[in-house]
Amino acid sequence: MSDTPAPAAPPMPAPATEATNERAHKAGKRAYEKLAKEKRLGMFARLYLMTLAYLDDSIRIKNHIEAAKAASLSINRQLPRSHTERYKLRTIWYWYPLYCLGGLAFISFLILTISGVVLALYYVPHYEPQEVFAARESVQFIMEKVTLGYVLRGVHHWGAHLMVACVFLHMMRVYFVGAYKKPRELNWVLGVLLLGITFFFAYSGYLLPADQLAIAAATIGQNMFGSIPGIGDTLAKLMFSGTDINAGLIPRMYVLHVWILPFILFGLMVLHMFIVWLQGMAEPH
């Protein structure tokens, strides 16, 4: 320990008071008006500047924008060097489009969300075996009576196929370029979860029309769950509201399909893509 005194701390900036805030605000306004006059800005440019000035005044966006810029510059977001570049090949690396599959899965999720919200305006989640067929009839109504309803249902139907295919092929791409290896194990595990949820999401939607295919698929699901030793029946009751087809099945699938799975899936997808953004893309091994 030496006896030399510690250097004096730099002076703290004076805390902002109402008066200093007011002065800064007025100075900002004057500067904006001067700029608008000098540059002879049009209405839209003035509106744009005014909005920026207002946002900066009220929530200090400038600080956030600068922090975001610094973060984005400090993180590796480059695509991996291709085989072409790495081995100085004279051919292009054909497999780059496969790096779009994760993004395509996300885009199909967005398309499904939009078309699903519109479908939900007409769909009725009510089915009682042999008695009430409201779910089936509402789907028929969408197909036959709603303007472009068949297109809407088609978009939702094929969007779901696209998403399942993309997620599966994306997983294969990740596997075959070895991108699951350290340090991306966590994202692989998250991906496995995403794959399972995507499959169950698609399955729950398949049951909603409550037609013969759906009821057959629900019976298969109930039997698969029911065949798990020990907890099978409890699980089947939890998931399908019983071990046989009953009036609780469709409302339960509807709640899962519309209110639970999309939110979980969206949250996990954002986390998954945030990790990709932090880690950068893996080079093919």
Residues forming the site for ligand HEM (CB under 6 A): 99-103, 105-106, 167, 170-171, 174, 179-180, 184, 187-188, 191-192, 194-195, 198, 269, 272-273, 276, 281-282
Which single residue brings its beta carbon nearest to ligand HEM? 191
| Least separation in angstroms between CB 112 and ligand HEM | 11
Tell me whether residue 1 is exposed, middle or buried, using C-beta atoms within 10 angstroms of its C-beta: 0 to 12, 13 to 18, 19 or more. exposed
Minimum CB distance to ligand HEM smaller for 106 or for 240: 106
| Least separation in angstroms between CB 245 and ligand HEM | 30
The one-character DSSP state at 259 is: I
* Amino acid type, 231: I
Minimum CB distance to ligand HEM smaller for 99 or for 203: 99
- For residue 224, what are its two tokens? 């698969």
Q: What angle do CA 169, 87, 281 make, to 5 degrees?
A: 40
Minimum CB distance to ligand HEM smaller for 159 or for 191: 191
For the chain, the first-to-last Cα distance in angstroms comes to 52
CA neighbor of 76 nearest in space, from 261, 280, 243: 280
Minimum CB distance to ligand HEM smaller for 72 or for 223: 72
CA neighbor of 139 nearest in space, from 207, 203, 216: 207
Residue whose token pair is 């067929």: 133
Tell me whether residue 212 is exposed, middle or buried, using C-beta atoms within 10 angstroms of its C-beta: 0 to 12, 13 to 18, 19 or more. exposed
Cα-Cα-Cα-Cα dihedral of 260, 264, 266, 271, to 10°?
Answer: 170
Minimum CB distance to ligand HEM smaller for 59 or for 79: 79
Q: Check: CB of residue 259 under 8 Å from CB of residue 125.
A: no
| Least separation in angstroms between CB 50 and ligand HEM | 37
Minimum CB distance to ligand HEM smaller for 106 or for 127: 106
| Least separation in angstroms between CB 201 and ligand HEM | 9
Minimum CB distance to ligand HEM smaller for 93 or for 141: 93
| Least separation in angstroms between CB 189 and ligand HEM | 8
| Least separation in angstroms between CB 267 and ligand HEM | 11
| Least separation in angstroms between CB 41 and ligand HEM | 39
| Least separation in angstroms between CB 156 and ligand HEM | 17
Cα-Cα-Cα-Cα dihedral of 224, 226, 227, 231, to 10°?
Answer: 130
E strand or H helix that includes residue 101:
helix 101-120
Cα 175 from Cα 189, distance rounded (Å): 12
Minimum CB distance to ligand HEM smaller for 4 or for 76: 76
